Amino acid sequence: MKLPAGRGRRDTGQSRSVRRDQPARFPKVVKRLRTKRAADQALDKAESQAVRIRSEGRCEVEEVCRSFVDVDAVGVVLVARCARRAEHVMHLIGGRGTRGRGLSALKEHKLHGCARHHREIDGDLGGKKLKRIGGVVPLWTDPYQLVR
């Protein structure tokens, strides 16, 4: 809608506060957060796809065999990989605001597992049933031991 002549602002092709030939000095906070969030989500999605390719559709959880007891071997642990079909990509590093960001988004800290092992590691009802055996930072190669 055009205003009658003499009323309103002149249309000079530029705004009074921002010139088009110069970039904005400070990007808006909302826009910066939105782009960072999108970058985090893109990285998380790409790493999850790499985890699916790595597992070849098979659950990656390795359980310590309870039936294996060797008195002579010290520090030897026999593990067996699950034979079920993998359904869920699990973030091994979690917590308030950390899942899918930083180290948690990387494929080394993700595990492709079946639904049963996902329940047992997360511990929905009745608490956790599988305990990770490994260092301070969880890795996908760490074996799990049955607690109950």
pLDDT single digits (tens) 62-76: 888 765 555 555 556
The pLDDT of residue 53 is 94
57 torsion bin: left (phi>0), alpha (psi -120 to 50), beta (else): left
The pLDDT of residue 30 is 67
Question: Residue ranges of the domains in the chain?
Answer: 29-146
- Residue ranges for the chain with pLDDT beneath 50: none
pLDDT single digits (tens) 18-33: 556 666 666 666 676 6
* Cα torsion angle, 105, 111, 116, 120, sign: negative
The pLDDT of residue 46 is 92
